[in-house]
Amino acid sequence: MTQQRRIIFDVIRNSMRHMTAEQIYLEAKQILPSIAMGTVYRNLGLMSDAGEILRIEMAGQPDHFDKTVSPHHHCLCPHCGEVSDAPIPDLTEHLQQILGSPVESYDLTLRILCDDCRAKTMQ
Amino acid sequence: MTQQRRIIFDVIRNSMRHMTAEQIYLEAKQILPSIAMGTVYRNLGLMSDAGEILRIEMAGQPDHFDKTVSPHHHCLCPHCGEVSDAPIPDLTEHLQQILGSPVESYDLTLRILCDDCRAKTMQ
DNA sequence: GTAGTTGCAAACTTTTTGCTACCCA
DNA sequence: TGGGTAGCAAAAAGTTTGCAACTAC
């Protein structure tokens, strides 16, 4: 466990948000200015593979990283790109019933305005 | 409507599959060897924007293009990457009921072995 | 004739990787 | 002290774009 890995992990742990590699890099850089983007990506990959963090892949978005590792769904704000957790239960059973065949897994992303953007729209 | 656009459109129209830009390029090249990748991408973009074809974006996959433009869900074969239509109805109502709030739209991709890969696995 | 389009190449974004030097158990 | 990193830079993959020449109508 190097200084760099610890910092990257802490940035994710301490954030309320689901950050991209770039956002994590920028925050980590504030703490350790010499840190390199490659190091961030390498550690994000290693930590995802080890199950210490969750990599969120979405169509058309850069990957985001989540400190909550148990599988769950996400929302994407169509206005600002913010990613957040979706309070939706697992739908595997439901989908398998509709299909009548087994589903290995599935990706579900809801497009919902985030609170900030909804507030701004209301104005 | 140029020769190139017609060829690209026909390749998509005549295919049973959901092809990537590269696959479309390769087929179009058989008909018009001088065609350029940029031309394929440009036309795929224009035709998607015009609603003549559907661009399918999936996490971790190159975009695929579908001649069926009405919104529907897709399956991704986790083994070979083949994309196919999913016989799943629209779930917007269902999701909104669970959430208790409106959903602008959502992405759903099922990971299901395609027929070819299932057959090979059975062997 | 001219607006739109091509082919080409370069740029772009996100992510991975090869390499040498370095750090830590 | 040696195996695992770091930093850096280059590469990879998919896609977009600027530009001069060309085509369709």
Q: Which helix (H) or strand (E) holds B86?
A: strand B83-86
Domain parsing of chain B, residue ranges: 3-66, 73-121
Q: Quick check: A113 contacting B, CB < 8 Å?
A: yes
Residue B123 has pLDDT above 90, yes or no: no
CB contact under 8 A, A58 and B60: no
Q: B95 to chain A: nearest residue by CA?
A: A88
User: Which residue among B60, B99, B103 sits closest to A111, beta carbon to beta carbon?
Assistant: B103
CB contact under 8 A, A111 and B104: yes
Q: How far is A89 from chain B (nearest CA, A)?
A: 9
Q: Quick check: B89 contacting A, CB < 8 Å?
A: yes
Please say whether the beta carbons of B67 and B56 come within 8 A: no
β-pairing, B105-111 vs B64-66, is unpaired
Please say whether the beta carbons of A110 and A75 come within 8 A: yes
Same fold, A3-66 and A73-121: no
pLDDT at A63 (0 to 100): 98
The predicted model gives B14-34 an average pLDDT of: 98
pLDDT at B28 (0 to 100): 98
Tell me the pTM: 0.94
Percent with pLDDT over 70 in chain A: 100
Please say whether the beta carbons of A39 and A25 come within 8 A: no
Print burial letters for B4-40: b (CB count within 10 Å at least 16), e (below 16). bbebbbebbeeeeebbbbebbbebbbeeeeebeeebb
CATH topology of domain A73-121: Dna Ligase; domain 1 (3.30.1490)
**At a CB cut-off of 8 Å and minimum separation 6, what does A40 contact?**
A8, A21, A24, A25, A28
CB contact under 8 A, A99 and B78: no
We find that the CATH architecture of domain A3-66 is Orthogonal Bundle (1.10)
CB contact under 8 A, A106 and B107: no
pLDDT tier at A123, thresholds 50, 70, 90: confident
CA dihedral sign of residues A31, A37, A40, A44:
positive
Q: B57 to chain A: nearest residue by CA?
A: A59
Q: Name the β-bridge partners of A110.
A: A75, B106
A31-73, pLDDT tens digit by residue?
A: 999 999 999 999 999 999 999 999 999 999 999 999 999 999 9
